[in-house]
Amino acid sequence: MSKIKLSKAINWDGKEQTELTLELEALTGADLVAAEREFGARNPGFVGVPSLQVGYQAGVAAKALKRPVEDVLRLSAKDFLRCVEAVGGFLNA
């Protein structure tokens, strides 16, 4: 579990969030494959290693947060980078 303290509070479903909890250890292979499929749909023609791309990492973060990827993409740049860095560390561990 990775906790991300937000630099800027966000409102999700009528609740103010000042911290996000990425449940990375709870993810399954199906979650990672779904994130890869969604990344491919958003980036047709992509050639490369998805796990190294922040777009894919954002999808994995969304799965770990049980939120749509659009919510992750709306985070401030600083908070977005904190999330994808946590995911990158998890994927490359």
Q: Give the separation between CA 13 and CA 89, rounded to whole angstroms.
A: 28
Q: Are 92 and 80 contacting, i.e. CB atoms less than 8 angstroms apart?
A: no
Query: Which pLDDT score, from 0 to 100, does residue 88 have?
Result: 95
Q: Which two tokens stand for residue 83?
A: 């999330």
**What pLDDT is attached to residue 29?**
97
Query: Token pair of 30, please?
Result: 């199906």
Residue appearing with tokens 């919510």 = 71
- Position 1 scores a pLDDT of 83
CA 40 to CA 50: how far, in whole Å? 9
- Where the chain has pLDDT below 50, the residues are none
Q: How far is residue 79's CA from residue 77's CA, in Å, rounded to a whole number?
A: 6
pLDDT value for 93: 84
